[in-house]
Structure 1
C-alpha cells in the first residue's frame, strides 16, 4: 500500500516545489491537481510545457502520480454547465494519459447549482441520477479511449452516497474503467466510533474488488471533518480491512495542513 497526500496540501503553482514538499513530508505518491502547475483545476487545455514540467517534477522528486483531479458537477441542473465540465474533463483525461496517471477522480455531483459538494433535496430523485449517469457514459467514453480509469467517491452530499450506489452505477455503466475511491469519513455524517467502524467495514466489503484508491480523512462524531487519526474513524481497522479484501493501491490523505503532513505520514505509515 503506497502512502500519498493531496498535492494541493502544499500551496504552490510550481510542480517541482509541490512534489518536493510531498516527498519531504514523508509521502511516496500523490493525487495531483493541475492548480499545482499554475492552471485551473479544470482547464480548457493543458499545454505541453505544463505536462513536461509535471513529468520532470515527478521524476526528480521520486513521487509517483496516483491520480489526477477531474471533478466537476456531473449532476448540475443546467445542462450547459455539465457540457462545459465534460469538455474540461477531456483535457484532464488527455493530460493524465500523457503523464501515465492511471486514475482521474470525479464528483458525481449535486443538484445544488452553486456548490457541487453541497446537499440538495433533489439529489435522490431519478432525474438527478439519470443526468449524472448520462454524463458518466460520456466521461467513460473519453476514459476508455485514453486507457485511463475514472474514480467515483461516495459522498453524503452527492448523487452517489454509498458503496451500494457506486456499485449500482458501475453495473449500469458496464465499464471496467469505472472504479471507486473510498473515503471512510464520507460514508457517514454523525456517528459514534462503533457506528463509524460498522459503516466503514460494510462499505469495504461491498466495494471489494472495485476500489482503485483509498482516502484518509477523519470525522468527528458531530459531523465536523478532522485530520486522520483525530476523529471517530478507526484507521487501524480501516487499513486492515482494505488489506483483507486485497487492496494494495494508494492510501491518500487530505483535509489537513502542510504542517500536519509529516505527523500524519508517520501515523499512516505505521498502519500501511
Structure 2
C-alpha cells in the first residue's frame, strides 16, 4: 500500500516546491488537482502540454506517484449548458492522465438536497455525463474514479452499484472515501455500511481517502485530529489488505505541520 495525500492541502505552490515538500515528509503518492495545487494554473482548459510535462518530471524527480488526478466537476447539473461545460473540463483533463502516469482521474457527483424523485432525474443526468467521460477514457486507455458522497447525487453504495451496472466499463472505477459516506444517522452503524460498500463496489475501488470524523456533544459531525476520529479503519484496512493490497491511501485535510503524526497513524493501520 502507498501512503499519500491531497497535494493542495500543502497550499498552491510551484510544482518543484510542492513535490519536494511532500516527498521530504515521506509520502509516496498524491491526489493532484492542478488548478488548486500548482501556481500559474487556474483551469484545466488552460493547461499546456509543456506544463503537464514539467509537472510529470517534477513528480518523477520527487518519486511521487500521481494516484489520482483530481478534476472535481458537477456532472449532474440540471442546466444542460452548465453541465456540458463541466463535462468539457473533465474531457480536457482526461488527456493529461497518461502524460502524468496517473492512476486515474477523479470527480464527485454534484451536491444534492432535493427529493428522491428529483434524485432520479439528477442520477439520469449523471449517467449521461459519465457515459461521455467513459467513452473518451476508453479511447485513451485511462481510468475514471467516481466518488460517492452522502450529500451528493451518488449517495449510497447501492446507487453507486447501479451506476456501475448502467455503464459496464472496465475504465469506470470508484474512489472510496468512508468519511464522505457517513452521516449523523449512520455513523454508529458504520460497519454495516462498509459491508454494503464492499459488496456493491469493492472490486472497483481504485484509491481510498483517509480523514477523520466524530459526533460532538451536540450530536453534530465534527473533524478531530486523525487519531481521534471514530471511523473503523481497522475493519476497512482488513478488507483492503486482502482485496486491494496495492491501493493508494490518500490523506485529505492534512495539516503539513502534523504530517508525521498522520503518516505514523496510517502506517500503524497498515501494520496491524
Fold conserved between structures, TM > 0.5: yes
Matches within 5 A, 1:1-272: 1-35=1-35, 36-40=37-41, 42-110=43-111, 119-122=112-115, 125-190=119-184, 194-221=188-215, 222-272=220-270
Shift of 1:217: 1.3
Shift of 1:79: 1.2
Partner residue, 1:115: none
Q: Show structure 2 runs of 5+ residues with no match.
A: none
Change (3 A) 1:40 1:204: farther
Change (3 A) 1:88 1:193: closer
- Write 1 or 2 for the structure with the bigger share of helix: 2
Query: Is the Cα–Cα contact under 8 Å of residues 8 and 32 in structure 1 kept in the other structure?
Result: yes
Equivalent position SS for 1:148: coil
Query: Is the Cα–Cα contact under 8 Å of residues 217 and 226 in structure 1 kept in the other structure?
Result: no
RMSD after superposition = 1.9
Equivalent position SS for 2:50: helix
Query: Is the Cα–Cα contact under 8 Å of residues 41 and 47 in structure 2 kept in the other structure?
Result: no
Distance of 1:60 and 1:200 partners within structure 2:
37
Of residues 221-230 and 97-106 in structure 1, the stretch that sits farther from structure 2 once superposed is 221-230
Q: What is the aligned residue count?
A: 264
Distance of 2:212 and 2:233 partners within structure 1:
9
Equivalent position SS for 2:97: helix
Q: Show structure 1 runs of 5+ residues with no match.
A: 111-118
Distance of 1:79 and 1:39 partners within structure 2:
30
Change (3 A) 1:108 1:189: same
Task: Find runs of 4+ consecutive structure 1 residues off by over 4 angstroms.
Answer: 39-42, 191-194
Shift of 1:260: 2.0
Change (3 A) 1:33 1:106: same
Of residues 168-177 and 238-247 in structure 1, the stretch that sits farther from structure 2 once superposed is 238-247
Distance of 1:46 and 1:255 partners within structure 2:
25
Distance of 1:129 and 1:97 partners within structure 2:
29
CA deviation map 1:8-40 (0-9, x unaligned): 111133111111121122211111110222255
Shift of 1:109: 1.4
Equivalent position SS for 1:156: coil
Distance of 2:87 and 2:188 partners within structure 1:
40
Change (3 A) 1:156 1:193: closer
Distance of 2:77 and 2:187 partners within structure 1:
34
Of residues 61-70 and 94-103 in structure 1, the stretch that sits farther from structure 2 once superposed is 94-103
Of residues 169-178 and 14-23 in structure 1, the stretch that sits farther from structure 2 once superposed is 14-23
Distance of 1:243 and 1:191 partners within structure 2:
28
